[in-house]
Amino acid sequence: MPATDLDLLIHAARLAGETALKYSGPQAKSWDKPGDLGPVTEADLAVNDVLHRELLGARPDYGWLSEESQDGSTRLDQEKLFIVDPIDGTRSFIEGSNAWAHSIAVAQGGEITAAVVLLPAKDRLYAAAKGQGTTLNGTQVGVTAREGVSGCSVLSARPNYAPEHWIDGVVPDVKRVYRPSLAYRLSLVAQGRFDAMLTLRDSWEWDIAAGALILTEAGAKVTDMHGAPLRFNNAHPQVKGVVAAGPALHADLSKRLVSTQQTG
């Protein structure tokens, strides 16, 4: 049995990657989930089965929250739980892109304590445990030292730049970048490839749980869109968006956002 939760997550992620790469995204069977919740493929379900088997097989007393498993209230009473997105960026996977990820985390008391984001098609494994820093393929990484918003690079979707989100309708002059997987976006900021990540819509826990710790351990400040700390294992498993960057840049971004000023 793996010695630590992080060892277990890395082991399970590698098996998940081997499973996913057996499928060709464009040829994999896919269908739309009910409730306008997006597409799912046979690969998503196969990876979910592998992760469920490996993770709960090793830690049967942990709870389980996955995008591809039916949710229930049992996890709310469990001290620790796994939060899993078998394939984050399913649309990207279907298109044949390599920018999709497995996102796997352990939560305890509402906080993430261990996390892995693996991009099998890129051979990139981001990993973090609370108090131990963040690594990419075993090498320590950290966020950029950028302090001001002007000219910084921000991973974010187009709707987040709508004027109504910004004080006095002034959208900051930033370099706009996008990647299809939310977990990958968070990890890229942790790596220092880009300066900040922003999403101003409710976000599913499985999309951001692993990336939140990977970022925090890389030196970022990570909050919801109102500036509050992220909490996990909520009855409805969503948080109010994500703002993530180094501490100084996070402060500069936050003071420009309507949502932060409304509650700050």
The string of pLDDT tens digits covering residues 69-88 is: 988 889 988 999 999 999 99
Cα 178 to the chain's mean position, in Å? Answer: 14
What's the pLDDT score for residue 2? 66
Whether the per-residue pLDDT at 262 is higher than 70: the answer is: no
**Beta strands 221-223; 242-245: pairing state:** antiparallel
**E strands within the chain?**
30-32, 39-41, 63-66, 80-88, 101-108, 111-119, 124-129, 134-136, 139-141, 153-155, 175-177, 196-199, 203-204, 221-223, 238-239, 242-245
Q: In the block, which residue shows the tokens 């922003």?
A: 198
- How does 102-125 read in b/e, with b if 16+ C-beta sit within 10 Å? bbbbbbbeebbbbbbbbbbbeebb
User: Cβ–Cβ contacts within 10 Å for residue 228, how many?
Assistant: 13
Whether the per-residue pLDDT at 111 is higher than 90: the answer is: yes
Q: Please state the pTM of the whole predicted model.
A: 0.94
Dihedral (Cα; 185, 261, 109, 58), 10-degree rounding: -10
What's the pLDDT score for residue 121? 94
